[in-house]
Chains A and B, each alone.
Chain A
Amino acid sequence: MHEPTIYEISVEGRQGVRFPQPDVPETQFPENFLRQELPLPELSEIDAVRHFSGLAQKNYSVDAGFYPLGSCTMKYNPKINEQVARFPGFLHTHPLQPITTVQGNLYLMYHLQEYLKEITGFSGVSLTPAAGAQGEFVGVKMIKRYLEEHGQSHRNKLLIPDSAHGTNPASATMNGFDTLPVPSNSNGTIDMDVLAELCQRDDIAGIMITNPNTLGLFEKDIVEVTRLVHEAGGLVYGDGANMNALLGVAKPADFGIDVMHLNLHKTFSTPHGGGGPGAGPVVTTDRLAPYLPGPIVTVLEEESEDTAPLYGYLTPEKTIGQVKAFQGQFGVLVKAFTYISMLGAAGLRRVSEYAVLNANYLLANLRDTYVVPYDGLCKHEFVLEGVWKDIPDIHALDIAKRLIDYGFHPPTNYFPLIVHEALMIEPTETESKDTLDAFIAAMKSIAKEAREDPALLHAAPQSTAIGRLDEVKAAKMLNVCCLPQYNQ
């Protein structure tokens, strides 16, 4: 049963929300600019509520169940976050208001800046970037600008491990860098011999590194990696997507990283929203801080006996420039601030402890059933192969789809690219032992079905209202808009 579209349930003459008539003398709208048709649907309020509530029921979510999507940190999103972010004082403030009227917002941003610096060990921060990918774009551009200002423009190669997220090479290209892949060794970490050889080149701009990497392994040679790159004249970008493994355990600044982004919608539990909004603050060292994008919140006047400090904005002198309008994804920042305030230092460390405990518990229970290409102590996530030698026509995709029939969201599949038929599993700290045990049982049951009744996997999912969708048809018979007049 498909839910009709808003256009299919539209009935001429309906209107869900009405507004008062203007109470000012009328001005004629210029005829030559007046549109003839406005092809919007017409719904009553209840039509719209039922429609969107119906669609909501067709979504899987963290609120509904276990979501072990590797590299995405689908942890529970506390309800209080949603409530406080909607306090009228936050909701109804305009980004261009005079600073004296938004001291609450600026206080919050200033302290969130301080918290993120403390958590990562860096000395500079900008909350502006809208998402992790934009944080990467910012960090790589800061490296570019730094090299240019230091007469190093010939350095145009960024090293990128073959296990990296796709955003890393894309961010490098957007900033005019070429990329050089760095292979992983048989342990799943950076091949140090190859890295050392690459660092002999005189055109190395730096490296983009994720630690723990996308196999869930801590790059134990990280200090040596950053030392080699620095000695070669390059800088080190840290992809903070996997920060959930390190809170209160280790500070990335101590690794020798120069600049990194954080994903507040992952690590700090502001929700993912079905694909955003996120927030991707960038933290950095003194060396690169002058290149950060503004505005950054600062104390303009220190507090005195009878007055609070006055917060305001500053834009660093050598900034790479503005990367979005205004100050950042403020509503998301409120949620991250709330989360950190509730957890404190000990709570944040517990987050990482239990994220890593949960991942290792799953791994310990699954390694006899599934092939683990890079086995050992993992951090917050790990990668299995979704394929067995004796049943070659079962693929990671089949296992993923069958998990849906067991009531679970599938893991990330086919990433990282260095694992054949990858299933990348990140349980997060908010899942109980009971949930993990149920997931383990499902994974084992599927492995059994793969041998005994493979058709169950190939036909999965069967518990959903629709089956596997024809993606080739979607791309070929492109239909991305339901208005008939625009869709011929």
Chain B
Amino acid sequence: MFIPHTYEETISMLKTIGFEHIDELFSDIPAPLRNANLDLPEAMTEMEVSKYLEEISQANETTQELMCFLGAGYYNHYSPAIVDSMLRIGSFYSAYTPYQPEISQGTLQVIYEYQSLICALTGMEASNASHYDGATAAAEAVLTAFYQFNKKRSNVILSHFINPQYAEVIDTYASDLPQVNIIHHTAEDADIPSLIDKDTALIVLQYPDFLGNIKDYSAIVNTAHEHGALICVIVNPIALGLLIPPGEWGADIVVGEGQPLGIPLWFGGPGLGFFATSKKMIRKIAGRISGETTDANGNRGYVLTLTAREQHIRREKATSNICTNQALLALAATVYLSALGKHGLQQVANTCYQNSHYAAKEIQAIDGYTLINTEAYYHEFVISCPVPVNEINNHLLDHGILGGLDLSEMYPEYENPVLFAVTELNDREQIDTLVEVLREFSHA
């Protein structure tokens, strides 16, 4: 199947080596260890496996069959055909990390363009080639800040309104660096400045925040910078089609989940963690970076640069162990942003905004439902429901609707809170259907 050798070739190759039987190739493994008889299902042909996998996939209910109002870090957007058709080019997906630049200019230029697009979106000066996802990018931002201050500042303040999964991943990444103290703020962001002092390394904020709010963080940024602390902002890349980028209001590190940029939901992965910063901090960040240079004849080309930061050179002195990242998904985001361009992204960003505000207003108008967001918000919002969220979601599912995320445990300060996400795929008809079904609980 995937092994081309004929019987004759096998015998002749063994003979070259000086063996008669293929088992002799393993004679250096102590006999008691050579007993791996595997108990696995019968091998399938391609035709059989294709049918089998199709059946498995059909046991799921998809966001194409259900109306999806679920987001919370992963979003149901339209991915234009051009994105996947580029991802399916064998010379992109079956290449390794571009260690040999002369025959890897395709991947290297894509990474360079990806870095440029991430800079354009976030308003930052430099980006790396990607992280596993938004959560690990945020965790690496914490490590970056810690090493930026030569381990001398220990406090990292996490806003109450960052994605709770990101907070947990940050905890895991920092859990064995005893000098790092992760502070989970549990009050409004407005109280954060009072916590900042000379021991603060980093403040992590989200924009729009986990509940969808668009907030002005200038007071926090100013206080942080007065004390020499750094600001990391978790962003939604689609929202940046409209929002003033954090680079323009003082962020030192901007990270996020790039999945909304043309990458399918794929049950949560592979996605794309992006990480952008200032030029002066670039030598301290983790991950791969593509940089422009020339060959001996002055031809322009790209190489992986600043590699002396990385684990294969620094080994135990490296600040991160990342090597394989999400290169193919960075290609997806690059194709997506190139194909949509300035106007396409603004259009998607605006449609998300319009649809979510229509949905929020209509739901709020139903008896018993209250919109928690009091100021500006983007394409997610929190509704306090008249009955427990799981009851509502079960009922919605019966009507072919994937409801929002139940926040009851994460934000117990609200009553029956549900986080709805609305994108360009949720048109008026879908929203009206959602509202109709929710209305059935209005007098509960």
Contact = CB atoms under 8 A, between A and B. Distances in A.
A20 B168 CA distance: 38
A377 B25 contact: yes
A136 B321 CA distance: 9
B97 A272 contact: yes
Interface string A1-44: 01101110010001111111111111101101111101111110
Contacts of B161: none
A24 B358 contact: yes
A340 B42 CA distance: 10
Report which residue of A101, A247, A349, A480 has the largest number of chain B beta carbons within 10 angstroms of its beta carbon.
A480
Interface stretch (B62-70, B365-373, B408-416): B62-70
A53 to B, nearest CB: 7
A146 B230 CA distance: 34
A429 interface: yes
A36 B240 CA distance: 11
Interface stretch (B117-125, B195-203, B380-388): B117-125
Contact of B295 (A176, A332, A469): A469
Interface stretch (A194-202, A274-282, A298-306): A274-282
A468 B296 contact: yes
A35 to B, nearest CB: 5
Contact of B267 (A77, A78, A82, A95): A95
Report which residue of B2, B62, B100, B241 has the largest number of chain A beta carbons within 10 angstroms of its beta carbon.
B2
Contacts of B424: 19, 22
Contacts of A34: 242-244
Contact of B282 (A72, A103, A322, A480): A480
A84 B24 CA distance: 37
Contacts of B26: 249-250, 356
A474 interface: yes
A167 B323 contact: yes
Contacts of A237: none
A340 B1 CA distance: 13
Contacts of A480: 112, 115, 126-127, 282, 289-292, 305
Interface string A262-300: 000100010111111110000000000000010000000
B176 A479 contact: no
Interface in B116-144: 116-117, 119-121, 124-127, 129-130, 132-136, 143
A107 B267 CA distance: 13
Contact of A104 (B33, B38, B58): B58
A16 B82 contact: yes
A103 B62 CA distance: 11
Interface in A352-375: 353-354, 356-358, 360-361, 364-365
Contacts of B132: 130-131, 134, 276-277, 324, 329
Residues of A contacting B: mostly: loop
B342 interface: yes
Given A58-B109, A78-B2, A254-B33, A27 B299 contact: no
A141 B171 CA distance: 13
Which bucket holds chain B's interface residue count? 35 or more
B337 interface: yes
Contacts of A80: 46, 49-50
Given A17-B82, A57-B106, A179 B316 contact: yes
B219 interface: no
B94 interface: yes
A96 interface: yes
Given A94-B265, A130-B132, A473 B294 contact: yes
Contacts of A98: 393, 397
Nearest to A72: B96
A133 B324 contact: yes
A429 B22 CA distance: 13
A172 to B, nearest CB: 6
Contact of A273 (B61, B64, B328): B328
B436 to A, nearest CB: 15
A272 B96 contact: yes
Contacts of A471: 293, 303, 305
Contacts of A119: 36, 38, 40
B1 A347 contact: yes
B189 interface: no
A334 B54 CA distance: 11
Interface in B234-264: 240-245, 248, 257, 264
Interface residues of A, number: 203
Contacts of A354: 3, 5
Contacts of A94: 63, 68, 70, 74, 76, 265, 267-268, 402
Interface stretch (B152-160, B221-229, B307-315): B307-315
Given A19-B348, A72-B96, A118 B338 contact: no
Given A29-B350, A96-B74, A276-B130, A250 B43 contact: no
Contacts of B85: 49
A320 interface: yes
A40 B341 contact: yes
Given A16-B82, A249-B34, A278 B62 contact: no
B297 A325 contact: no
Given A275-B324, A330-B268, A478-B279, A470 B50 contact: no
B181 interface: no
Contacts of B361: 27
A247 to B, nearest CB: 8
A318 B39 CA distance: 30
A361 B105 contact: no
B270 A331 contact: yes
A447 B340 CA distance: 51
A51 interface: yes
11 contacts: A6-B116, A41-B341, A56-B92, A60-B104, A87-B53, A277-B132, A324-B169, A345-B43, A468-B295, A474-B302, A483-B119
